[in-house]
Structure 1
Amino acid sequence: MNDEQPADLTADLSDEPRGCLFALSQPPLMLFLAFVATLILGTAVHDLYRW
């Protein structure tokens, strides 16, 4: 049997680099990006169609 502690296994996983998809999967970041995109879309529509 293997005598490694579970902490050793998690330490190996934490050394792996995380990519951009991991960062985009975070809900606060997605909410912020959605808010910024909504502001940009709103200003674009306002510039195109001046009511």
Structure 2
Amino acid sequence: MLDTSREPLPASPEAPADEPRGCLFALSQPPLMIFLGVIGCLLLMAALHDLFVL
């Protein structure tokens, strides 16, 4: 049988309960910013190729 009780989960030491984490916290992570930077550079290179080479 599933446990459907609504007991609060213990707070982890990394995430204080009074400080919610949202989109800005996710964007401050270096791997995500590196990934978005690489994708942005690829899109920029494709746009410049279309404008100046084709």
Q: TM-score, normalised by structure 1?
A: 0.68
Per residue, is there more helix in 1 or in 2? 1
- State the percentage of identical aligned residues: 56
2:54 is aligned with 1:47 = no
Give the C-alpha shift of residue 17 in structure 1: 3.3
Query: Against the structure 1 CA distance between its residues 50 and 11, is the aligned structure 2 distance closer, same or farther, given a 3 Å change threshold?
Result: closer
Moved over 2 A (4+): 14-17
Aligned pairs for 1:1-51 (under 5 A) are 10=13, 13-14=16-17, 16-50=19-53
* Two-structure CA RMSD over aligned residues (Å): 2.6
Unmatched 5+ stretches in structure 2? 1-10
Unmatched 5+ stretches in structure 1? 1-7
The number of aligned residues is 43
